[in-house]
């Protein structure tokens, strides 16, 4: 069993984050006789999943939907879960591609920054930035 403080320490997050997710209905704590929150290993796992989903760009509503689908065996829930996962995967892959392109820009900017006093270098840099912007 975890208290809110020990759970926060274990996951290296502020206590306020746990309270926030509890307030939003993403996490439910049992209460001890002294009214302190008590969290189980399953609660820790669920909170870890919430944090991973946040990092992956899931909204609170999407996270709540995903959590409500877990454990349900209905085909419609499985279908909705799969659909949301595929959408998020596609979005993350697009972001990865965009980040790779930005890294290429940084690789290009380095040498051009040194020689940017020439109109040709400035034009190449400007063109590269515009190309990347158009693909975002």
CATH 1.10.1660.10 for the 1-73 domain, yes or no: yes
Please provide the average confidence, as pLDDT, over all residues in the chain. 85
pLDDT beyond 90 at 76: no
Please report where in the chains the tokens 């840099």 appear, as a residue.
125
What are the DSSP E strand ranges found in 17-136?
A: 30-31, 37-38
Query: pTM for the whole thing?
Result: 0.70
Q: From 48, 40, 27, 28, select the one nearest 1 (Cα to Cα).
A: 40
CA distance 65 to 80: 9
Going from N- to C-terminal start, the domains of the chain cover 1-73, 89-135
pLDDT digits (tens, 9 = 90+) for 93-135: 999 998 998 888 888 777 766 666 677 777 877 887 787 777 7
For 56-72, what is the mean pLDDT? 81
Q: C-alpha distances in angstroms, 130 versus 39, 51, 125?
A: 51, 35, 9
pLDDT confidence of 50, banded at 50, 70, 90?
Answer: very high
- In the chain, which ranges are E strands? 30-31, 37-38
Q: What is the pLDDT of residue 33?
A: 92
């Amino acid at each position: 069993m975890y208290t809110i403080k020990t759970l926060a320490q274990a996951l290296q997050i502020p206590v306020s984050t746990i309270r926030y997710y509890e307030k939003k209905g993403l996490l439910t704590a049992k209460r001890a006789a002294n009214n302190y929150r008590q969290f189980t290993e399953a609660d820790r796992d669920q909170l870890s999943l919430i944090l991973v989903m946040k990092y992956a760009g899931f909204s609170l509503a999407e996270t709540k939907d995903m959590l409500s689908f877990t454990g349900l065996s209905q085909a419609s829930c499985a279908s909705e879960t799969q659909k949301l996962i595929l959408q998020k995967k596609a979005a993350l892959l697009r972001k990865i591609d965009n980040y790779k392109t930005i890294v290429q820009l940084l690789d290009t900017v380095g040498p051009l920054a040194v020689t940017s006093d020439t109109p040709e270098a400035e034009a190449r840099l400007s063109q590269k930035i515009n190309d990347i912007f158009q693909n975002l």
